[in-house]
Amino acid sequence: MSDAPKSHGRKTIRPTLRPQELMTDRPSLAQAWTAQIITLFPDAFPGLLGQSLTGKALKDGLWQLETIDLRPYGEGKHRNVDDTPAGGGAGMVLRADVVGRAVETARRQSRGRMPMIYLSPRGRPFDQAMARSLADCDGVTMLCGRFEGIDQRVLDHYGIEEVSLGDFVLTGGELPAQVLIDACVRLRPGVLGNAASTEEESFSDGLLEHPQYTRPTEWQGHEIPPVLMSGNHGEIAKWRRAQAEELTRARRPDLWAKRGTEE
């Protein structure tokens, strides 16, 4: 007899010590792309993800959000989750035993192919290609650090990939997690009203996106480029391509150089 979770329609039933979601309006959905977040601040979610297109998609069950509060896994009466760095130094470090217990819970609740990521400025740079790869998975588990970070042994033991949103430091991983989720969810089927929107935007072809214009035709002495009003779709496509190439060369020579090596 299998120990695997049983699926009844779109809802998933998992063994758990917590009360089942029999009387809530957000049961676990078996087929929805899942963003699983391990965090000290579960109330930070969904945040802006609950608005606009991502919020509508969340309500419609196109994706789902599961937060795992790190605090209940803490040690002692006060549920301590951190301790001083081994070898000395400023700040505090999230304990391996505490984070490990939360990770084990996440692993038991995950399904299918759900990579586990630690959001860290020393990680692999997050880009559109990674967003597409993660969007094609069943979901993603994100570990949000705080203080001076997480005991390295947790990352090593579970083979957690470190991912960075840029060369800067934040107070925690919750904001980067929301950015990563937004980038992935918008690529899921049915989330955007026009699927073609993701095919012509920045980075879709290794280029920055061309400029965009709309009404009014003239504003503050600035007019929409005549070619865009010509109705000649071939010329419009050529103009947009040329603009994208020019912007990429000027603003992101690293992308332009990389594109040259791939062609």
What angle in degrees, to the nearest 10, is found between the helix axes of 233-251 and 253-262? 110
Q: Per 3-state DSSP, what percentage of the chain is helix, strand, and coil (rounded to 5)?
A: 35, 20, 45
β-pairing verdict for 161-164 and 116-125 = parallel
202: tokens are 């920045």
**26 pLDDT more than 90:** no
Is 169 annotated as belonging to a binding site? yes
- Given this model, what pLDDT does residue 6 score? 47
Is 127 annotated as belonging to a binding site? no
Q: How much of the chain, in percent, has pLDDT values that exceed 90?
A: 81
- Under the phi-then-psi rule, with left for phi > 0, alpha for psi from -120 to 50, and beta for the rest, what region is 30? alpha
Is 203 annotated as belonging to a binding site? no
8 A C-beta contact, residue 84 and residue 128: no
30: tokens are 């078996």
- Given this model, what pLDDT does residue 1 score? 44
Please give the Cα distance from 227 to 112 (Å, whole number): 48
Q: Which amino acid is at 232?
A: N
Is 145 annotated as belonging to a binding site? yes
| Residue 197, C-beta contacts closer than 8 angstroms, at least 6 positions apart | none
Reported pTM: 0.83
8 A C-beta contact, residue 148 and residue 155: no
Mean pLDDT throughout 176-198?
89
* CATH of range 30-185; options 3.40.109.10, 3.30.420.40, 3.50.50.60, 3.40.1280.10: 3.40.1280.10
Query: pLDDT per residue over 104-132, tens digit each?
Result: 999 999 999 999 999 999 999 999 999 99
Q: Which sign does the torsion angle of CA 119, 43, 109, 180 carry?
A: negative
Superfamily of domain covering 200-262: tRNA(m1g37)methyltransferase, domain 2 (1.10.1270.20)
Residue 218: pLDDT band (50, 70, 90) is very high
User: Would you list the domain boundaries of the chain?
Assistant: 30-185, 200-262
Q: How much of the chain, in percent, has pLDDT values that exceed 70?
A: 84
Residue 37: pLDDT band (50, 70, 90) is very high
